Amino acid sequence: MAEENTTHEQIRVISPGRVNLLGEHVDYNDGPVLPAAIDLFVQIQAVPLEDQFQLYSVSYEQSVTFTLDSIKEKKDLSGDLLPAWALYPAGVAWVLQRYGLPVHGLSASYSSNLPIGSGLSSSAAIETGFAVLWQQLGGWQMDRMCLAKLCRQAEMEYVQVNCGLMDQFACLHGVEGHGLYFETRELTWEAVPLPERAAIVIADSGVPRSLASTAYNARRSTCEQALAVLQLHIPGLRSLGDLTPDRFEQSAQFLNAVPRKRVRHVVEECERVRRSVGMLREGNVQAFGRLMVASHMSLRDLYEVSCPELDALVEIACNLPGCWGARLTGAGFGGCTVNLVDENHLDSFKLSLRKEYHHMFDREAVIYQCRAVEGTHLVTS
């Protein structure tokens, strides 16, 4: 184990958000996903302190001070409840010290160009950014998959959002120019090259959504209940991600109408992700794009997590020259779509998408042109 960092030099961390190209609402069902870390990110600048945590959020223009003792009750030093934005770094400190890992005091400010509440994992970027920061300050080592699991535990148990592992994994494991094929049960992954002339374009619908206040937890509960029913009829079934399409068709009769739709989405979405890897390796971006559109239709009709604004963004995009595929990304109920676009059509695509969406809803869609980048890392220069 390395020695604890006792210098007062400023430490800087860049922690990217993530966009999920394919595989939505399957990570908590042990299914495969295909996210990518993107060049929208959280930036943290910190210097070590003795035993206090002084945080300043540039986005909210607010500061808070707490200790390891006060965060147990989610309170600052004044006894007030921690603001929502501070729960994510506080939760990471809380879970690290539960496992006996050194959590050094610090004074940190952090900013982000990630749109908050839009499905690009600003919360996971904050969690993983502070985890890497505390790892550097404390001088301890940990495999990045284990670090992702601790960050997920912080969000589930401290922030109380019942999330899967994909977001923290993607933020920590990003590879420049690649998507990340991730088997969420085996915790194995491989980098898959993205087509060179395919740009990732994210369109923020302007419809906010918060995982803690949406039907996300209800969808997850429905899947858990459906699994319990299916396990009575399929010996050895461990998760919905294990179900092949044939096995699902043979057992669908045991589920009521709504759970049957939810499970059908999970089964078919897992198959889409598995098929997509070969398509990307072969450079068949057209076929991959068709899978993206099929994924959106499934999320709209079977999992019912879309909304009129997201549906419109996808429909508009699919009718524009140069767009290979489009779908909602993230949990849904608002937030963003992700589009795979021929870079030769980028300017006209972004202009037309923004214009037609505004005409339909009298609402602005903020467009981000992104690329796949390295995961959470220290900046040494």
Residues 209, 378: Cα–Cα separation, whole Å:
30
Q: Which fold has domain 198-370?
A: Alpha-Beta Plaits (3.30.70)
Query: What is residue 51's predicted lDDT score, i.e. its pLDDT?
Result: 87
Are the beta carbons of 176 and 83 closer than 8 angstroms? no
Q: Tell me the pLDDT tens digit for each residue of 185-220.
A: 999 999 999 998 899 999 999 988 755 456 788 898
Q: Which fold has domain 11-192+374-379?
A: Ribosomal Protein S5; domain 2 (3.30.230)
Residue corresponding to tokens 């419109």: 312
Indicate the angle between helix axes 308-318 and 346-361, nearest 10 degrees: 140
Query: What is residue 3's predicted lDDT score, i.e. its pLDDT?
Result: 40
Q: Tell me the pLDDT tens digit for each residue of 278-310.
A: 999 999 999 999 999 999 999 999 999 999 999
Are the beta carbons of 36 and 174 closer than 8 angstroms? yes
Q: Tell me the pLDDT tens digit for each residue of 239-271.
A: 999 999 999 999 999 999 999 999 999 999 999
Collapsed DSSP state (helix, strand, coil) of residue 320: coil
Burial class (CB in 10 A: 0-12, 13-18, 19+), 51: exposed
Out of 11-20, 325-334, 355-364, which region has the weakest mean confidence (pLDDT)? 325-334
Burial class (CB in 10 A: 0-12, 13-18, 19+), 173: buried
Average pLDDT over residues 347-370: 96
Residues 30, 39, 76, 167: which is the catalytic one? 167
Collapsed DSSP state (helix, strand, coil) of residue 369: strand
76 given a catalytic annotation: no
Domain positions in the chain are 11-192+374-379, 198-370
Query: What is residue 188's predicted lDDT score, i.e. its pLDDT?
Result: 97
Give the pLDDT band (50/70/90) at residue 117.
low
Residues 165, 163: Cα–Cα separation, whole Å:
7
Domains 11-192+374-379 and 198-370 share a fold: no
